[in-house]
Amino acid sequence: MTLHTGTVLAICGTLALGACGSTPEPATRAPDVATLQSTAAAPPSSAPTPAAERPVIPVDDNVDAIGRLETAWVYCLRDNGVPLDTAIGESKTARKEPRYQAAYKTCAIKEPEFWIDREARTNPEYADRLRDAVTCLKSKGHKARLDTSKTPAVIAYPSMGQETAAIDDRDECLREAFADRLKRYPKS
């Protein structure tokens, strides 16, 4: 994942301010009224626990929301011994070093992902939806194609310049192609 410039500034500022903060208050406390709940531990459930998912970066890519999500991940890395690069937050070299692999594994659940990456990973209709987005892009005059030689499939262009020129239309076409699925993702 790459960090946006605004996100980098938000992370660095939050890290700097975080060093000056006080210890947070406990999130819960005992109720002030009597309850009928037992204090004994509940018996183990045979129902499967849903798999935890990484946080999803909002569909509208709000810089503040992205910064908050990435800050939680960067704090986790820092708290687990990964050195941070003050300019970008996460140290790109640390990710490749074996001594930090346990910290990255521990913090993986906090690393945010874009909604389209979640779709690529979880939606069996992903390639079909991308095909719809390519059709939309072609209708807007772009020379896009679906490249299924890559896993997951991607929208490809003849040149970087054409890809850059299609960015706004690409985002619009992706939102149209995945419209019913986008309801499950947060908006800022």
User: Rounded to whole angstroms, how far apart are CA atoms 112 and 80?
Assistant: 17
Residue 117 φ/ψ, nearest 5 degrees: -70, -40
- Residue of 69 and 156 predicted with greater confidence: 156
Q: How big is the chain by its Cα radius of gyration, in Å?
A: 21
Residue pLDDT, tens place only, 65-84: 888 889 999 999 999 999 88
pLDDT band at 51, cuts 50/70/90?
low
If 0-12 CB within 10 Å is exposed, 13-18 middle and 19+ buried, where does residue 156 land? middle
- Look at residue 106 and give its three-state secondary structure: helix
Query: Could you tell me which residue, 108 or 60, shows the higher pLDDT?
Result: 108
**Is the predicted pLDDT of residue 58 greater than 60, yes or no?**
yes
Give the model's confidence band at 86: pLDDT under 50 very low, under 70 low, under 90 confident, else very high. low
With beta carbons less than 8 A apart as the criterion, state whether 63 and 6 touch.
yes
Q: Among 49-53, 82-86, 121-125, 140-144, which stretch is predicted with the lowest mean pLDDT?
A: 49-53
Among 18-27, 44-53, 58-67, name the most confident range: 58-67
Is the pTM here over 0.75, yes or no? no
CA atoms within 13 A on the CB side of 4: 15
